[in-house]
Amino acid sequence: MAKPAILTVDDDPAVSRAVARDLRRQYGEDYRIVRADSGQEALDTLKELKLRGEQVAVLLADYRMPAMNGLQFLEAAMDLFPRARRVLLTAYADTDAAIQAINIVDLDHYLLKPWHPPEEKLYPVIDAMLEAWKAAPDRPSADVKIVGHRWSAPSFAVRDFLARNMISYRWYTTDDAEGQRLLTAAGLTPNDVPLVVTTEGKPLINPTEAELATHVGLTTTPTTDFYDLVVVGGGPAGLGAAVYGASEGLRTVLLEQRATGGQAGQSSRIENYLGFPDGVSGAQLTDRARRQAIKFGAELLTACRATRLDIQGNTRILHFEDGTTIASHAVILATGVSYRRLTAPGLEHLHGRGVYYGSAATEAPSCTDQDVYIVGGANSAGQAAMFFSRYARNVHLVIRAPNLNASMSQYLIDQIAAVPTITIHPCTEIAAAHGEEHLEHLELRPVDGGPSRTVPATWLFIFIGAEPRTDWLDGTVARDPRGFVLTGPDLLTGDEPPPGWHLPRDPYHLESNVPGVFAAGDVRADSVKRVASAVGEGAMAVSLVHRYLLEGQ
């Protein structure tokens, strides 16, 4: 099998030869060093490598190249080798280039020229890139194929599930020649979609998420039936708990119903998270956290929907939709929240066909040069507005409040104000949605009850409210009237212990009314709805789990 490639591109032949020489001297034994003198030549080389089925580990591109600069090349290269780590070379500290690179291509590193001595300035960077690349091996789903209708909720659901789980796929509509060939080969008609063809050539007709996960290489079954710690939910709090639990020696399994990352994983850019001064995408942060948890030995299971929690002595038993169970000493509930559904007429009918809850990144390229409407005034809506402004002709932010000051971080308010294609519609709500095959018009109405107006619209993304997914805890775990899990001092409202509590001590800060069952992140009552606080609570919950286990339960 051919060695993985490290590709470098620079229009200065002397610089190109120099970087290739330094790379070959350090990495030539295990990697093939490929160099190009222009962005187009480098792209042509990548296409040849792709057709031959070879791998590319790292891409190093000079920023200032004629015809196609380094950013344009890296952005195009992502379509061919999305796993390849990306490094931008520049002759001086060009801050604008760095920010642009981070926003466009999720740049992994920014390297100044000259890089001498390479032992100090070049090799440590490439070592880190190669370690990260090797830690996320290719999934066997690179050639998964989907055939479906353009405006179909089930087809969108399949694509969104794969995208959020970072599974590469090829998408064909029923009008595409290749899509028709795949339907014919499977003995199906355009009415039998979505069709998913796995890498092994197995056809799946409108598969469930569990079926899809099983056939595209995601882990869905545990290796054992008893753990020290079960973490329910794969958002920032759950991933933080999995990392700290596994790193501190607990047999840890994380259960996620849909895709790790949660709402934060859908964010196009998180800019107020400690340690990332230039921001980080939710997908990138999620990928790093997932790899970190796995490195420490945590199991991560996908498409696991918990339906009940039972308490049997010192054992906590989780029941799942498929009838299976997992038992453990302790449980951390980190299921987060889901966006609240709008009840305006027409929205439910058009869900997945122009109406979406959360940031449907898979749809962003289709929004090019069109108007996009976003409902919500918190950070998630603001981040989506900035993201879609890169594609859409205009972005309309619809909010019920007079302004964004009460619900959005100031840095996002400032960014939105600086983008002329983003328009804020204050004191406004969605009154109705209209369309047959897909969304065509929206009715916007003043919140004071004034007359509504109809606007043409094909895209509506909704980011409102926060509803915890905790109905499955009925009768076991105490919650507030809105469904958020009560923990610690919030449970101590009188002289009597909380229902179900039998220990002589009070519940720990993040502990529920059931000893050994903790809550972290957005699902916890009165929590701070921020990524950093969720990660912190996940780590804190693990320390409390240790205390609980040491006291003999």
Q: What CATH number has the domain bearing residue 373?
A: 3.50.50.60
More reliable by pLDDT, 373 or 286:
373
Residues 314-335: pLDDT tens digits?
A: 999 999 998 999 999 999 999 9
Summarize the confidence of residues 413-442 as an average pLDDT: 95
Give the range among 42-51, 134-143, 219-228, 303-312 with minimum mean pLDDT. 134-143
Q: What CATH code is carried by the domain that includes residue 156?
A: 3.40.30.10
Torsion of CA 235, 240, 246, 251, to 10 degrees: -50
Domain termination site, one of 135, 154, 174? 135
pLDDT at 139: 45
Q: Within a domain: residue 529?
A: yes
More reliable by pLDDT, 47 or 102:
47
Same domain, 306 and 371: no
Q: For residue 28, with 0-12 CB atoms within 10 Å meaning exposed, 13-18 middle and 19 or more buried, which class applies?
A: middle
pLDDT at position 141 over 50? no
Quote the number of domains for the chain: 4
Q: Within a domain: residue 432?
A: yes
553 pLDDT tier (thresholds 50, 70, 90): low
pLDDT at 140: 38
Radius of gyration of the chain (CA): 25
pLDDT at position 146 over 90? yes
- Domain hosting residue 246, numbered range: 226-337+469-550
Residues 508-545: pLDDT tens digits?
A: 999 999 999 999 999 999 898 888 899 999 999 999 99
Same domain, 230 and 183: no
Domain termination site, one of 409, 441, 462? 462
Q: Within a domain: residue 346?
A: no
Same domain, 230 and 324: yes
State the average pLDDT for the chain: 89
Same domain, 13 and 121: yes
Residues 484-518: pLDDT tens digits?
A: 999 999 998 777 788 889 899 999 999 999 999 99
pLDDT at 93: 54
Same domain, 504 and 436: no
Q: Within a domain: residue 345?
A: no
2 pLDDT tier (thresholds 50, 70, 90): confident
Q: Within a domain: residue 211?
A: yes
Summarize the confidence of residues 421-436 as an average pLDDT: 95
Tell me how far apart the alpha carbons of residues 397 and 82 are, in angstroms, rounded to a whole number: 31
Q: Name the phi and psi angles at 386, rounded to 5.
A: -65, -40
Tell me how far apart the alpha carbons of residues 299 and 159 are, in angstroms, rounded to a whole number: 25
More reliable by pLDDT, 146 or 366:
146
pLDDT at position 266 over 50? yes
For the chain, give the percent of residues with pLDDT over 90.
Answer: 58
Residues 11-30: pLDDT tens digits?
A: 998 989 999 999 999 999 99
Q: Within a domain: residue 279?
A: yes
Q: Within a domain: residue 71?
A: yes
Same domain, 127 and 47: yes
Q: Within a domain: residue 539?
A: yes
Contact 54, 27 (CB under 8 A): no
Same domain, 307 and 360: no
For the chain, give the percent of residues with pLDDT over 70.
Answer: 94
Q: Name the phi and psi angles at 61, rounded to 5.
A: -130, 135
pLDDT at 339: 84
pTM over 0.75: no
